[in-house]
Amino acid sequence: MTRPLPRAVHPAAWWGWAVGLAVAVSTTTNPLLLLLALAVTSLVVAARRGSSPWARAFRLYLWLGMAIVAVRLVLHVLVGLKVGSTLLLPLPEARLPSWAAGIQLGGDVYLEGLLGAALLGLRLAVIIACIGAANALANPKRLLRSLPSALHEVGAAVVVSVSVAPQLAESVQRVRRARQLRGDGGRGLRAVRRIALPVLEDTLERSLLLAAAMDSRGYGRSGAAPERERRLTGAVVLVGLLACAIGLYGVLDATTPALLGTPTLVVGLALSALGLWLGGRHVRTTTYRPDPWRGAEWLTLGSGVLAAAATTVVARTAPDALAMPLDPLGVPALPLVAVAGLLVAALPAVLTPEPPRPAPRVVVRGAVGVAA
Amino acid sequence: MSEHAVVLESVSVVPAGAEGPVLRDVDLVVEEGELALVVGRTGSGKSTLLGAMCGRVPHFTGGTLHGRVLVHGRDTREHRPRDLADLVGVVGQDPLAGFVTDTVEEELAYGMEQLGLPAATMRKRVEETLDVLGIPELRGAALRELSGGQQQRVAIGSVLTAHPRVILLDEPTSALDPTGAEEVLATITRLVHDLAVTVVVAEHRVERVLHYADRVVHVAVDGTVTVGAPAGVMATSDIAPPVVELGRWAGWTPLPLSVRDARRAARGLRERLATTSGSGPDDVPGPDGARDPSNNRHIRRKMDDPHPTEPSNNRHIRRKMSTATSAPSVVPVLQASGVVVRHPGDVVAVAGVDLDLHAGEVTALMGRNGSGKSSLLWALQGSGATAAGRVRVGGPTTPAVDPAALDPVERRARVGLVPQSATDLLYLDSVGAECAQADHESTVPAGTCAALLARLAPGVPADRHPRDLSEGQKLALVLAVQLTADPPVLLLDEPTRGLDPSAKAVLATTLRDLAARGRSVAVATHDVEFVAECADRVVVMAAGEVVADGPTAEVVVSSPAFAPQVAKVLAPGPWLTVDDVRSAAPGVAP
């Protein structure tokens, strides 16, 4: 097999992969599987992330995960229900009135309870790492570009607001500096008004300029459907979204009649898709260099789905293997099917094309600092 | 349908909420493939005229438009700006403000995506446009990291990809340094000459575009419009570049529009000036005299002589005036040594600058964008961070202190700074309130700031909102606020941006006046004509270092980028402005 040319894998494929992994992780508290999943996401991110700023943000998600585990442990010691038999730390316990029965303030800390809390924290941390991996691997702006055409204008608005945020920070900084020139230290509530007013004015002015520029470049040029059709589209989307909501409720709540569950959800999704298609029919915008959907995308998406499927199968056949044995404390099992599923999810690290190398940075103006 | 590019038939525009029209009965035809230059004072309706041509007026701005505007046969009454997007491209003053995406390639494609062009066409046109602009190596670059000239070229490219028949540019070079402006102008002429696109460009800095124009549209303050060949309109225009003013004064026909034309017409004038100003024949050197160092030294000797035996030109008079009012200060008011400013990302903005500012002197700080001018000004004022070096401010009576060590109130009493976006300093809802606040801030008697403002810009109503003032009035207000503290040193960062020639002349007089009262003024600017008008001394910066420092004439006359037009015409003579020439040779004019 020849080496594929470097290109960015479709952002939707990465999101599918990450969601699959997150689903797999959410079924288990088995530390072996959790750590394996974390290793898989880290490996893929390290191998296939691009050069954009958000690609470097993965480590922030890891830090966030660690913080979650730590907070979970602290909370367990402070207010958690302490269970188990191996005493770790004898602590005094505060007597609480009967209405606060679910909370145990202080009290002896046992190994089993602490371990259980840590594993629940770890599970959440790994799920967050999966989302972080999707963010690092898939350029969110490119994801917006592949939205259905009915949502094109919403997508453009999101892109613009994302790029406005740094400008806003810049204005605040500029105005704060300017305030100093008038002998104003820039503290306290009064300073907020002095800074907010020029910044707001500045932002409004810029938005108007941008709106005028976008108008002159043809934004919103097509997409004027006849009145009747617009109403029909609106109704279809609304009914579709309602059905989706009811269907989701039905799926999650086991006591509702079966008809309210999956069938309603499917109908809702179909109606929403129909609405998007109807709305998008009149929009005649195109996409410059659209991301293709080829083998690598199927492989990425498939590996994520497989990981989720494998753990689901294990959950049905041998649910005990997915849990950490705490009572009595034991060695966690190693369910081969789940491990195989997670290992498959690591394949995109080697089988997808490499991300494109960034162009060598050209000489830029000196005043703007560029963190390499 | 006849194929005029743009036709305006008795167009009048009344903006929303205004009493009178901004444009009055405008009849105008722009032919295909022409470069039409729109000139006029600030607020005269140049932008409105361009807005009417692309449908922004009145669809986007509101107001009423009487008459008819046709762009290649499409009436703007029935076509909104977005419906004209395939026909008219619009480029604004601030390229960053109009960017929708964040990389060069995506920005070039954006307009085509909106028009729904097929992917293959888009790919091809992006590549072609990158070549036309000469920036293929920037394809993946982030827009915010480009230089101003590059950004403006990308902005032009981003409308060019839609293959418009008409391109409207509203002051495309006013935010750029001379080099960036040259890049953009070269691109514009390329469009006209190679691609036969119709270009309508509004520009304050007429001298940059005039010699490329096929037709000049002059918008008067009352909203009437004169259209004609460049030389014809320039003969009476209230906005004219120095070469034209020189030509008018000297009575040259045809009126020169470029330095080249004027230089050829000025042979006689140069000789007569040399004899009238009482210099020997050694003052009229060969054609390469401008670059001859011995000549510059000669000029310098003349310039630096504090008691010229014969005040042969304006500059000498000025020089004498300033030395007379304030004794030539041996100790500078502001002394900076080894100033280093670093920005995040390991960028050295100012790399060890030594600079002394003297009382009674206007110093111009020049250099391309990003050469460290602004960072240096902020460092001198003390509000900006410095990584190393020392700054001392003090007069003959006050002990020298480091302004950075003072609290903001005392700091502004020592060194005043008018930042690049001057209006950041304003936040109240009326001119009167701003003035009262300024008096309060510097604990001076009430009415000080208002009196200053009345001197700088007479007739600004106290109840007017600062946002509704003209650019010149806004600057005057900020200047008045900063002068209320009466600092011995005043620094200004790009004050001429957006000012028309008359507002610029007022500013030049104000700064000269401040210097004459013994203040020290430093101005960072790209505007060479403004420097010629008001600076005694020029400091040129490049890559954070001072590369030249000396009397204005000495530094600018020999520089291809910084020489004002009159100096180019009359080189190697020391005359920089038309006024200099007028007072040097009152009898020369025919």
Q: What is the pLDDT of residue A329?
A: 85
- Residue B97: pLDDT band (50, 70, 90) is confident
Domain-ending residue, one of A282, A304, A325: A282
Tokens 């495309």 belong to which residue? B172
For β-strands B347-357 and B489-493, DSSP reports them as unpaired
Q: Is residue A197 part of a domain?
A: no
For β-strands A109-110 and B74-75, DSSP reports them as unpaired
Burial-class residue B182 by CB neighbours within 10 Å (0-12, 13-18, 19+).
Answer: middle
Higher pLDDT, B278 or A368: B278
Q: Tell me, yes or no, whether B361 and B220 share the same domain.
A: no
Residue of B nearest to A192 (CA): B427
Higher pLDDT, B534 or B281: B534
Tens of pLDDT along A14-48? 999 999 999 999 989 999 999 999 999 999 999 99
Higher pLDDT, A190 or A364: A190
Q: Which two tokens stand for residue B68?
A: 């008819």
CB contact under 8 A, B97 and A206: yes
Nearest CA-CA partner of B496 in B459, B541, B531: B531
Task: Give alpha helix (H) positions in B404-500.
Answer: 408-414, 431-441, 448-456, 471-483
Q: Is residue B476 part of a domain?
A: yes
Domain-ending residue, one of B228, B243, B264: B228
The rounded distance, in Å, linking the Cα atoms of B48 and B24 is 11
pLDDT above 70 for A283: yes
Tell me the angle at which helices A11-26 and A31-48 cross, rounded to the nearest 10 degrees.
170
The CATH number of residue B481's host domain is 3.40.50.300
Q: Tell me, yes or no, whether B64 and B192 share the same domain.
A: yes
Among A63-72, A189-198, B567-576, top mean pLDDT goes to: A63-72
Q: Is residue A120 part of a domain?
A: yes
Domain-ending residue, one of B185, B212, B228: B228
Q: Tell me, yes or no, whether A272 and A297 share the same domain.
A: no
The H or E element containing residue B364 is strand B361-366
Q: Is residue A324 part of a domain?
A: yes
Cβ contacts of B152 within 8 Å, gap of 6 or more: B91, B95, B172, B173, B175, B176, B180, B183, B184
SS3 B295: helix
Q: What is the pLDDT of residue B282?
A: 40
Q: Residue B403 is part of which domain span?
A: 325-557
The rounded distance, in Å, linking the Cα atoms of B333 and B518 is 10
CB contact under 8 A, A218 and B162: yes
Q: Is residue B414 part of a domain?
A: yes
What DSSP character marks residue A277?
Answer: H
The rounded distance, in Å, linking the Cα atoms of B55 and B344 is 43
Residue of B nearest to A358 (CA): B140
CB contact under 8 A, A159 and B101: yes
Q: Tell me, yes or no, whether A36 and A56 share the same domain.
A: yes
Q: Which two tokens stand for residue B584?
A: 């040097």
Domain count within chain B:
2
User: CA A207, B51, A155: angle at the middle one, nearest 5?
Assistant: 35
Q: What is the pLDDT of residue B588?
A: 53
Closest-CA distance, B39 to chain A, in angstroms, reads 22
Among B14-18, B66-70, B133-137, B177-181, top mean pLDDT goes to: B66-70
HEC per residue, B166-191: EEEEECCCCCCCHHHHHHHHHHHHHH
What sign results for the dihedral spanned by CA atoms B277, B538, B212, B29? negative
Nearest CA-CA partner of B225 in B7, B44, B32, B92: B44
pLDDT above 70 for B453: yes
The rounded distance, in Å, linking the Cα atoms of B81 and B74 is 11
CB contact under 8 A, A284 and B467: no
Q: Tell me, yes or no, whether A59 and A115 share the same domain.
A: yes
For β-strands B64-71 and B334-343, DSSP reports them as unpaired
- Residue B181: pLDDT band (50, 70, 90) is confident
- Residue B300: pLDDT band (50, 70, 90) is very low
The rounded distance, in Å, linking the Cα atoms of B371 and A176 is 23
Q: What is the pLDDT of residue B301?
A: 36
Amino acid, res. B561: A
Q: Is residue B568 part of a domain?
A: no
Q: Is residue B401 part of a domain?
A: yes
Q: What is the pLDDT of residue B168?
A: 96
Closest-CA distance, B544 to chain A, in angstroms, reads 9
Q: Tell me, yes or no, whether A235 and A302 share the same domain.
A: no
Q: Which two tokens stand for residue B207?
A: 């001298």
The rounded distance, in Å, linking the Cα atoms of A286 and B537 is 56
- Residue B396: pLDDT band (50, 70, 90) is low
pLDDT above 60 for B434: yes
Q: Residue A133 is part of which domain span?
A: 11-148+292-351
Q: Which two tokens stand for residue B234?
A: 């320039």
Tens of pLDDT along B472-512? 888 999 999 999 998 999 999 999 887 888 888 889 999 99
Q: Is residue A5 part of a domain?
A: no
The rounded distance, in Å, linking the Cα atoms of B67 and B225 is 15
The rounded distance, in Å, linking the Cα atoms of B484 and B447 is 10
CB contact under 8 A, B102 and A160: no
Tokens 């079924």 belong to which residue? A27
What DSSP character marks residue A372?
Answer: -
Q: Is residue A4 part of a domain?
A: no
Domain count within chain A:
2
Q: Tell me, yes or no, whether A254 and A316 share the same domain.
A: no
HEC per residue, B535-566: CCEEEEEECCEEEEEEEHHHHHHCCCCCCCHH
Residues from chain B contacting residue A166 (CB–CB below 8 Å): 144
Q: Which two tokens stand for residue A296?
A: 């690598």
ipTM for the whole complex? 0.82
Q: What is the pLDDT of residue B306?
A: 41
Amino acid, res. A112: E
> Of B145, B344, B419, which has the smallest distance from its Cβ to A178's Cβ?
B419
CB contact under 8 A, A216 and B82: yes
Q: Tell me, yes or no, whether A143 and A236 share the same domain.
A: no
Mean of pLDDT values over A177-201: 78
* First-to-final CA distance of chain A: 34
Amino acid, res. B132: V
Residue B360 · residue B518 · CB < 8 Å: yes
Q: Tell me, yes or no, whether A133 and A250 share the same domain.
A: no
Chains A–B, number of C-beta pairs less than 8 Å apart: 205
Q: How far is CA B215 from CA A53, A136, B231, B252, in A?
A: 48, 54, 9, 20
Q: What is the pLDDT of residue B383?
A: 86
Which pTM was predicted? 0.79
The rounded distance, in Å, linking the Cα atoms of B167 and A217 is 12
- Residue B586: pLDDT band (50, 70, 90) is low
Closest-CA distance, A144 to chain B, in angstroms, reads 12
Closest-CA distance, B425 to chain A, in angstroms, reads 6
